[in-house]
């Protein structure tokens, strides 16, 4: 995927790590690509943490089985915690705390002691979140962890991970051989997590430098959308629109391929050899499109932050379009809305703005796209061009929504931008048939 290895001016976003001459078992382990996933944002003074994802492919059968067994062992830890907590609830006895669960799981599982502790911490965090949701949102009817897991991600804290000569060593406990992966991690790397996502992945927590000061004192708003991923306007009259049609096209392609494969699987006996072959093809296709969508989303949100830095923005408001999913507009539109991952857009923008020292906050954007920015007349627009029936104003629909957000976020009315810059998050893929002579 050529577009994934070119960062459009940000070469550190993606790296290709090739490991030559290093073998584990009978076959080499090759790390295909490393991705930055900005879902984790921890601020400590001027240092932030991001997560970089390394895909582990071409694993030897022995190493693949060891990774699988490690995740099964982590699932046993989770299941043991579930049983202890369930027994305490049923007998109405005090719930087990951190010390109780750590003592109950100590020395019982074939994992590093700190890996077992991190599973316990994740379980207790789940319990605490469920308890709060049951109190604040009783209609959700949240259940405490009850389902028996077969696999669970294995975690190693930073102090347990060691690096040596371009390899990362993940301990499995005293008396057991460590997992050695030929991954060339940067010196600022920390905790690691072994995750299964249609293939094993290593999620590594890495330090990134934060900007020394804010770009300026300007204010901007972001209107998120499905056709146009982001429309940004500032209080100085600048505006840009980032297209989301590439992501939309990839999701449509994925839906069509899912339908084609599902139609073929419906004629097969479930779990037959033909059925499994089609399922593997479906997983490969889904994973590839998922990586391409994530790549475009990172590039689009990076363009938003670069635009804010260029125009000296110090405060950024991100609109939350949560209400759009509550309306029934037909199965095709409902599918697009269900697959619109605006929550990830908000997370990525929040992380990147924090790294750039831009204050960001989010809130409702209800009614911003249905009000004229000049005369404040309201009506439901159709199409991408907003036309006011009262004063004759005409402008881009998403830019209108972003302009009206200034009133909600900053209690300030700004003028509509005279010009809008349209950007694409990535380079268009060149067709293989481009340049071939046509038949006369």
> Reduced to 3 states, what is the DSSP secondary structure of residue 199?
coil
CA distances from 32 to 1, 190, 306, 331 (A): 11, 20, 28, 37
**Residue 429 is assigned to a structural domain of this protein:** no
pLDDT at 91 over 70: yes
Please tell me whether residues 230 and 166 are part of one structural domain.
Answer: no
State how far Cα 91 lies from the chain centre.
Answer: 40
Please tell me whether residues 197 and 260 are part of one structural domain.
Answer: no
Q: How do residues 351-370 score in pLDDT, each as one tens digit?
A: 999 999 999 999 988 888 88
Q: How do residues 284-316 score in pLDDT, each as one tens digit?
A: 999 999 999 999 999 999 999 999 999 999 999
Q: What 8-state DSSP symbol labels residue 357?
A: T
pLDDT of the residue at 49 = 87
Mean pLDDT of the residues in the chain: 85
Please tell me whether residues 119 and 203 are part of one structural domain.
Answer: yes
Please tell me whether residues 38 and 100 are part of one structural domain.
Answer: yes
pLDDT of the residue at 135 = 94
Which segment of 130-134, 276-280, 327-331 scores lowest on mean pLDDT?
327-331
CA distances from 111 to 160, 181, 322 (A): 12, 17, 41
Please tell me whether residues 188 and 248 are part of one structural domain.
Answer: no
Please tell me whether residues 156 and 20 are part of one structural domain.
Answer: yes
Decide the pairing of beta strands 239-243 and 228-234: antiparallel
Please tell me whether residues 53 and 139 are part of one structural domain.
Answer: yes
pLDDT band at 165 (very low <50, low <70, confident <90, very high): confident
pLDDT at 20 over 80: no
**Which of 167, 193, 210 marks a domain boundary?**
210
Query: Which residue range(s) make up the domain with 311?
Result: 218-423
**Which of 175, 210, 245 marks a domain boundary?**
210
Q: What 8-state DSSP symbol labels residue 208?
A: E
pLDDT at 223 over 90: yes
Backbone φ and ψ of 398, nearest 5°: -70, -35
Q: Where are the alpha helices (DSSP H) in 166-272?
A: 245-265
């Amino acid at each position: 995927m050529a577009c994934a290895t070119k960062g459009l001016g940000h070469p550190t976003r993606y790296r290709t790590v090739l490991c030559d001459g290093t073998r584990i078992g009978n076959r080499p382990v090759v790390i295909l690509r490393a991705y930055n996933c900005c879902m984790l944002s921890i601020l400590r003074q001027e240092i932030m943490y991001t997560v970089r994802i390394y895909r582990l492919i071409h694993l030897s059968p022995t190493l693949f089985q060891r990774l699988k067994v490690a995740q099964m062992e982590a699932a046993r830890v989770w299941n043991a915690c579930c049983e202890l907590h369930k027994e305490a609830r049923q007998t109405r006895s005090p719930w087990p705390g951190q010390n109780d669960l750590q003592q109950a799981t100590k020395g019982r599982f074939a994992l590093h002691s700190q890996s077992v502790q991190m599973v316990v911490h994740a379980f207790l965090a789940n319990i605490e979140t469920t308890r709060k949701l049951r109190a604040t949102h009783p209609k959700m009817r949240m259940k405490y962890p009850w389902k028996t897991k077969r696999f669970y991600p294995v975690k190693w804290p930073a102090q347990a991970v060691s690096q040596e000569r371009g390899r990362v060593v993940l301990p499995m406990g005293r008396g057991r051989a460590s997992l050695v992966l030929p991954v060339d991690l940067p010196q600022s790397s920390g905790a690691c997590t072994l995750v299964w996502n249609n293939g094993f992945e290593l999620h590594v927590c890495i330090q990134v430098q934060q900007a020394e000061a804010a770009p300026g004192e300007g204010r901007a708003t972001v209107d998120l959308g499905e056709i146009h991923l982001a429309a940004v306007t500032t209080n100085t009259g600048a505006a840009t629109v980032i297209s989301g049609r590439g992501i939309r096209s990839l999701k449509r392609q994925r839906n069509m391929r899912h339908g084609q494969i599902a139609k073929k699987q419906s004629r097969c006996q479930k779990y037959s050899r033909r059925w499994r072959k089609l399922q593997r093809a479906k997983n490969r296709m889904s994973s590839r499109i998922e990586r391409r969508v994530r790549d475009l989303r990172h590039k689009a949100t990076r363009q938003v932050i670069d635009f804010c830095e260029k125009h000296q923005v110090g405060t950024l408001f991100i609109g939350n379009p949560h209400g759009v999913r509550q309306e029934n507009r037909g199965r095709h539109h409902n599918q697009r809305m269900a697959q619109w991952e605006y929550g990830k857009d908000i997370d990525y923008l929040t992380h990147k703005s924090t790294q750039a020292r831009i204050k960001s906050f989010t809130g409702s954007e209800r009614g911003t796209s249905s009000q004229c920015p000049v005369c404040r007349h309201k009506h439901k627009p159709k199409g991408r061009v907003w036309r006011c029936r009262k004063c004759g104003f005409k402008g881009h629909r998403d830019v209108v929504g972003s302009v009206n957000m200034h009133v909600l976020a900053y209690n300030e009315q700004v003028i509509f931008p005279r010009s809008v810059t349209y950007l694409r998050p990535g380079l268009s893929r060149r067709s293989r048939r481009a340049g071939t002579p046509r038949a006369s």
